[in-house]
Amino acid sequence: MTGILPIVAADAQALPSLPDAQGWLTLGPLAEVFGDRACRSLKLGGVQVGLFLVDGEVYAIDDICSHGNARLSEGEIDGFEVECPLHAGLFDMRSGKALSAPLTRDVRSHEIRLEEGVLHLRLVAA
């Protein structure tokens, strides 16, 4: 990857970031990325990513449900499960695994790294 990859939050705040040689994007300080929320939706170079903060750990999965056009970051969270707000199917936010009907396909899980309070993400290829 080269150049600046646009990162756009659901609230339309743009956070330009230059990926490093290994493809890691710096999202910013954890407290600033999440604020007072437990989840966040970001558009990273055309990919909608849901970020989830559970018990001090951050997880990143594709934010669009594999069954319908709904943002998982707008669903209910119970432990490590996130419920699609459209059809109530459950995903494991740690792996992207589809856990219940009507879901039949997993969503991608992306790599997260937290260094000195700064959150970094690397998109996993489709």
For the chain, the straight-line distance linking the first and the last C-alpha, in angstroms and rounded, comes to 15
What confidence score (pLDDT) does residue 54 get? 96
Percent of the chain with pLDDT over 70: 87
Q: What whole-number distance in Å separates Cα of residue 35 and Cα of residue 29?
A: 10
- Pull the structure tokens for residue 30: 């954890």
What confidence score (pLDDT) does residue 83 get? 96
What confidence score (pLDDT) does residue 19 get? 74
Determine the residue type at 110: H
What confidence score (pLDDT) does residue 7 get? 45
Please list the ranges in the chain whose pLDDT falls under 50: 1-9, 11-14, 16
Going along the chain from its start, the domains and CATH numbers come out as 7-122 (2.102.10.10)
34: which strand partners?
Answer: none
pTM for this prediction: 0.84
Residue 85 region, left (φ>0) first, then alpha (ψ -120 to 50), else beta? alpha
Q: What are the residues whose beta carbons fall under 8 Å from the beta carbon of 12, sequence distance 6 or more?
A: none
